Structure 1
Amino acid sequence: METIIISGSIVVSYLIIKRYKTQWLDYMWMRIHARHPSELELEKTLEQKTLSSWMNSYSQTLTVRGHQLHHVYVENPGSSLLIIFIHGLGGQVSQWESQLEHFSSYASVLAVDLLGCGLSEVSSKWSDYSADSLTKDVLALLTDHYSAERLVLVAHSYGCSVATRLSLDHTLKKRIQATVLICPKKGMSEKEIKGQRIIGWIPDWLMDGFRMGDRKKCLYSKSVERFLGPNATDIQREKQFEWNIKSKTTVYRRFAYNASFPVQEEYATISSPVLLVSCEQDKVVSPQDAEYIHRLIDNSKLRVIEDVGHNPMLVRPQAVNTIISEFAESVGIEELGCF
């Protein structure tokens, strides 16, 4: 779930190093990104952490469109409803653990590791990471393996682009009862578009270097601070840091290079009720983006979670669960209103 802005300075640094790479430059590069041994040891420990025993007991991998997709599925035989959870750039299924545990008491739940993320297979094809291709992966998983009478889509950050495309698919449209978009991004700025154009030219080793510098101070690094508000505990910070470490550079570059967002006309044609959730202290996606999208969708509601950054599922899980439940009940999904 890391976000690194690709600026002109990064490109210039790369070109200089590529042209004049010497032992001195190597030495200076290492000095700039020097890490304390304790930080490196913590990273190594977190890299080796596995899913919780609860998540692992419902974990499985299936071949979808030629790729191995990992996911967590908890069946609730007493309900015809399936809730699908979709993470964003650099995310993974464990981000949804609190939601999966809670809502599995009322409905079947499914969380997917998108291609290259979490425990899913990594593809070397850049086009496999386009929003359309990622959407087709989730659609195939639903169509071929987890068909349900009624569906609720819940997505976070860039996962909202996938969820929006799913909500417009003609094979799912009639079955989607509601869509929840948490911290959705309305589109890219000119600066981000310029960065997207050059990210394909930046090698992994250079991006790794900048990510390493971004992780200095570990739990209190920039890589963690930008996702969590000031009220995050050390336990929550460690979990966020773990996800950041496990986000693969080669996958991040392919995601970012292919990133695209729904346009106004697409938002306007969503037929299911939509809940937009923004976070007051979000430093990754402006809370105003959710307000903008809210104005484009007639059948939508907007909720704001206070005192939290970009990852409310981790810092304020109970608030997220309550907001989803209240919205579901308001649109007639009674089994999710049992709070």
Structure 2
Amino acid sequence: MRALSPFIYFFSHSHHTPNMTSYPSSSSISITRHRYNQSIMSLAILATAGIIGASYMALRKQGYTPLEKELLTLSDSRYLLDHTEMVTVRGHRLRVVNLPGKQPERPLLLFIHGLGGQASQWEEQLKYFCDYASRVVALDLLGCGSSEVVTDWKSYDTAELASDIEAVAKTLDTSKGIIAIGHSYGCLVSSILATRIQLKGLVMICCPRLHLDAKQKRGQKMLPFIPDWLIDRGRRADRKGGLHSQSVNRFLGEEADEETRRRQLRWNLMSRTSVWKRFMSRARIPSPEILSKISTNRVLIIGGSEDKMAPPSTMDIVQEHLQEAPTRLLIQGAGHMPMVTNTQQVNSAIQEFLFQ
């Protein structure tokens, strides 16, 4: 019997009718229980592996919906493509949208997108502010949009992303100064940038929370060990409902029109899970000390009253750590993407800020 597996060994013994004059010893009972526990554990591991394997195969078969496939075939507008260049800095090949402005004596405007975003989210601002700046520039951060994807994790540190932007700025004519405009996670990146180079102004749109709780910190540490396909499964479920899915509503709210929803769903689809994991795992929230060292006293904070991802209360927290009170605008009814859904209000606020 010792040549049999623990599973067979246990059941062959458990179904044996013992001789009434010969009982098993306590040591043999202990061994049998041990082998039984091993068998149950082995079965549990096999069952878990089977479930995971089946989930993985099911995910591979699901693929994209017809709408998602259509959106992924679309390209950026001709306007953006005509002003796109690829720039290599610090060993990273980044996409930069670079447009000359009509006001050569005014600062350069530098637009920095957030987590899962890309330069095309700033298209309406790029078009508008060409009339009010010496130059307008937006870039795809490392791993985003059309920029290069690298597999190491350190390159996605918040401070490293700021270093990439700093290096891009050195390739531009910044003699009239720079005003940095960040959205969401881009606010954190631009805050670090503002401690390294002298800015003429800083605009923070929907700045995220400036604190990670214990649960979020544990999640950061676990992310590298979670397989991409498992996260993909959650993302696919989040997109259920297409243009009116939680994936879209989380950014835009309930009132956005269909064309805006199509653009947002496309941006969500283009966000790579492997890059998202690295961004989230290596995200570092600027400390109050860093915020207090921002190189400009001119700061504009814009928020959305219905923003669930970066609630308006964050504006108060950011203000507490700045050298001087910022200019503030809370857009009623706006969600997490006011530069897309409330373009005119955002552009007007930034324009007014430029001429202060």
Counterpart residue number, 2:314: 289
Change beyond 3 A, Cα 1:19–1:207: farther
Change beyond 3 A, Cα 1:262–1:121: same
Residue 180 of structure 1 pairs with residue 203 of structure 2: yes
Contact 2:59 2:233 in 1 (8 A): no
Structure 1 range deviating more: 250-259 or 190-199: 190-199
Counterpart residue number, 1:215: 239
Offset from partner CA, 1:111-131 (integer Å, 9 cap, x none) = 010000000000111000001
User: What is the TM-score with the length of structure 2 in the denominator?
Assistant: 0.82
Which amino acid counterpart does residue 207 of structure 2 have in structure 1?
P
Counterpart residue number, 1:307: 333
Residue 327 of structure 1 pairs with residue 353 of structure 2: yes
Counterpart residue number, 2:20: none
CA distance in 2, matches of 1:245, 1:134: 22
Residue 98 of structure 1 pairs with residue 121 of structure 2: no
Instruction: Provide the aligned C-alpha RMSD in A.
Output: 2.1
Structure with the larger RCO, 1 or 2 (CA within 8 Å, 6+ apart): 1
CA distance in 2, matches of 1:123, 1:30: 27
Change beyond 3 A, Cα 1:18–1:165: farther
Contact 2:56 2:229 in 1 (8 A): no
* 1:128-147 → structure 2 map (5 Å cutoff): 128-147=155-174
How far is the alpha carbon of 1:287 from its aligned partner? 1.5
How far is the alpha carbon of 1:21 from its aligned partner? 2.2
Which amino acid counterpart does residue 348 of structure 2 have in structure 1?
T
Contact 2:102 2:131 in 1 (8 A): no
Match of 1:240 among 260, 264, 268: 264
Match of 1:21 among 49, 70, 76: 49
CA distance in 2, matches of 1:282, 1:155: 16
CA distance in 1, matches of 2:47, 2:284: 33
Kindly tell me the number of residue pairs found equivalent between the two proteins. 308
How far is the alpha carbon of 1:77 from its aligned partner? 5.8
Match of 1:62 among 87, 102, 127: 87
Change beyond 3 A, Cα 1:66–1:279: same
Identity of aligned residues (%): 36
Which amino acid counterpart does residue 230 of structure 1 have in structure 2?
E
Counterpart residue number, 1:226: 250
How far is the alpha carbon of 1:295 from its aligned partner? 2.0
How far is the alpha carbon of 1:210 from its aligned partner? 1.0
Contact 1:313 1:320 in 2 (8 A): yes
Match of 2:179 among 129, 152, 158: 152
Change beyond 3 A, Cα 1:304–1:260: same
SS in 2 for 1:226: helix
Where structure 2 has 5 or more consecutive residues not aligned to the other structure, the ranges are 1-43
CA distance in 2, matches of 1:130, 1:17: 36
Counterpart residue number, 1:163: 190
Counterpart residue number, 1:335: none
Contact 1:294 1:302 in 2 (8 A): no
Residue 41 of structure 1 pairs with residue 66 of structure 2: yes
Where structure 1 has 5 or more consecutive residues not aligned to the other structure, the ranges are 1-15, 331-339
User: What is the TM-score with the length of structure 1 in the denominator?
Assistant: 0.86
How far is the alpha carbon of 1:148 from its aligned partner? 3.3
CA distance in 1, matches of 2:58, 2:71: 24
Q: Which of the pair has more CA radius of gyration? A: 2
Which amino acid counterpart does residue 280 of structure 1 have in structure 2?
S
Change beyond 3 A, Cα 1:122–1:146: farther
Change beyond 3 A, Cα 1:307–1:78: closer
Contact 1:17 1:25 in 2 (8 A): no
CA distance in 1, matches of 2:128, 2:53: 50
How far is the alpha carbon of 1:178 from its aligned partner? 0.7
Contact 1:33 1:213 in 2 (8 A): no
Which amino acid counterpart does residue 45 of structure 1 have in structure 2?
E
Offset from partner CA, 1:167-207 (integer Å, 9 cap, x none) = 111xx21xx11100001122323332221111111011111
Which amino acid counterpart does residue 332 of structure 2 have in structure 1?
E
Counterpart residue number, 2:17: none
Which amino acid counterpart does residue 46 of structure 1 have in structure 2?
L
How far is the alpha carbon of 1:33 from its aligned partner? 10
Change beyond 3 A, Cα 1:118–1:19: farther
Residue 113 of structure 1 pairs with residue 136 of structure 2: no
Change beyond 3 A, Cα 1:259–1:17: farther
Change beyond 3 A, Cα 1:136–1:242: same
How far is the alpha carbon of 1:32 from its aligned partner? 9.1
SS in 2 for 1:200: helix
Residue 83 of structure 1 pairs with residue 106 of structure 2: no
CA distance in 1, matches of 2:47, 2:175: 56
